[in-house]
């Protein structure tokens, strides 16, 4: 969130967006050995970016639903829900 808003808008708005995310009622997932091993397994077995492997590993390790717009996740055996893709404007 921080980098994306910073890149698209500016640093102050990026930091504000990050602070707003921290205030949301959600569980923040931290790294650990189990998460590292799961992410490495996914990265080795599937054509995922490193970040996507960590995201999928978090969902698997915590029994969460993986919500995404990335078709690369479809091959994974994880509870998932695809979000609608943004339509290109003409």
| Residue ranges in the chain modelled with pLDDT below 50 | none
**pTM score, whole prediction:** 0.66
Give residue 39's Cα distance to chain centre: 12
Q: Which pLDDT score, from 0 to 100, does residue 26 have? A: 81
Q: Which pLDDT score, from 0 to 100, does residue 1 have? A: 81
Q: What is the total residue count of the chain? A: 90
Facing residues of 80 across strands? 66
């Amino acid at each position: 969130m921080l980098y994306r808003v910073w890149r698209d808008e500016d640093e102050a708005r990026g930091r504000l967006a990050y602070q707003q995310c921290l205030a949301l009622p959600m569980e923040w997932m931290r790294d650990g050995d189990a998460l590292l091993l799961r992410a490495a397994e996914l990265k080795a077995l599937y054509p995922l970016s490193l970040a996507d492997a960590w995201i999928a590993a978090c969902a698997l390790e915590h029994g969460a639903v993986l919500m995404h717009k990335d078709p690369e996740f479809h091959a994974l055996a994880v509870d998932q829900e695809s979000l609608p893709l943004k339509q290109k404007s003409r």
